[in-house]
Amino acid sequence: MPRAAYYLSEPKKRTSCVVFASPHSGNDYPDRFLQQTVLNQKTIRSSEDAFVDLLFQDAADYGAPFLKAGAPRAFLDLNRSPDELDPALIEGVRKPGHNPRVASGLGVIPRVVANGRAIYRGKLPMSEAKRRIDGYWHPYHARLQALLGESHELFGQAILVDCHSMPHEALESVYRKNGKCPEIVLGDRFGAASSPEVMEAVEAAFVEVGFSVMRNTPFAGAYVTQAYGRPSRRQHAIQIEIDRSIYMDERRIRPNAEFDRVRGLLAQVASRIAVLGQGPVRLAAE
């Protein structure tokens, strides 16, 4: 099993209501899991948000905590509800109502990685699914909820920045006819997970350092933004998707020549976003 459910980088002093999190950058692939899968060690990583944790690791320097998953996405998807169990993979699961994520093999215990490639030869017992959910899903989300609760207690509101990466081909399929692909896609479930003011301020933080940005297409946010985005309660959640091609070689899963430059720019972005949550915050919807 992966060594830890999560890793938390905390600031010396909490000065911001912002919480940064990376639920898909876990890369601890235990031997037992690698023996279960039919995929090789490179292919199994194709759905991982590789290096996103490194891109945002300086967040704590700006007074905001940074929570990183310990378990890899192919093992357990923290951006799914714990009841999104796939009957095609988990023994004893009743067929649910229509859920496109589960139907495509991307439930809380994924059946496939990128491009629909199957992870396993057969089904997993329910006991295995429960072991992963109890050991990794619940501890991660309990810690995330506690961090957001601390934000409310200290600052009167919380802003969750959920950090992800996206394959370049996912952008090309949407923007090919509409011109240049964005480098960043921000998702707030079309306004349901964040106030307009917070979304505009986060977008400005990216634009001001030179990134091209779009909102909600092709990714508007999944479980995390849906579960934690409550702008009427002064809790905002925004998903960040970064085009992988701007900082890594997607085929080899290695940082490319632009990695350090992109990391430096994202450090500036994290600093600007953290400042949004300092002191008496005026951005939250009343």
pLDDT digits (tens, 9 = 90+) for 12-36: 999 999 999 999 999 999 999 999 9
Decide if 18 is inside a domain. Answer: yes
Is 106 part of a structural domain of the chain?
no
Instruction: Reply yes or no on whether the pLDDT at 283 is more than 60.
Output: no
Cα pseudo-dihedral 260, 239, 220, 148, rounded to 10: 180
Could you tell me if residue 209 is inside a domain?
yes
Q: Is the pLDDT of residue 284 over 50?
A: no
- Rg of the chain over Cα atoms, rounded to whole angstroms, equals 18
Where are any strands of DSSP class E within 95-183? 158-166
In a 3-state reduction of DSSP, which class is residue 242? strand
Residue 210 belongs to a domain = yes
Interval 206-249: pLDDT, tens: 999 999 999 999 999 999 999 999 999 999 999 999 999 999 99
Where are the strands (E) in 32-138, listed by range?
A: 66-69
Mean local confidence (pLDDT), 124-130: 97
Kindly report, residue by residue over 36-49, the tens digit of the pLDDT. 999 999 999 999 99
Other CB atoms closer than 10 Å to residue 198's CB: what's the count? 27
How many angstroms separate the CA atoms of 227 and 146, rounded? 14
Q: Is the pLDDT of residue 174 over 90?
A: no
Confirm whether 40 is domain-assigned: yes
How many Å from the N-terminal Cα to the C-terminal Cα in the chain?
A: 44
| Position 284 in a domain | no
Q: Categorize the per-residue pLDDT at 91 as very low, low, confident or very high, splitting at 50, 70 and 90.
A: very high
pLDDT for res 248: 97
Residue 280 has pLDDT above 50, yes or no: no
Mean pLDDT of the chain: 93
For residue 178, what pLDDT is reported? 63
- How many domains does the structure of the chain reveal? 1
Residue 285 has pLDDT above 50, yes or no: no
Going by pLDDT thresholds of 50, 70 and 90, the confidence category of residue 179 is low
- Predicted local confidence at residue 279, as pLDDT: 54
Specify the CATH number for the domain of residue 10. Answer: 3.40.630.40
Please indicate, yes or no, if residue 208 is contained in any of the structural domains. yes
Task: Domain of residue 27: give its range.
Answer: 6-76+129-276
How far is 29 from 50, CA to CA, in rounded Å?
13
Average pLDDT in the 67-82 region?
98
Residue 267 lies in a domain: yes
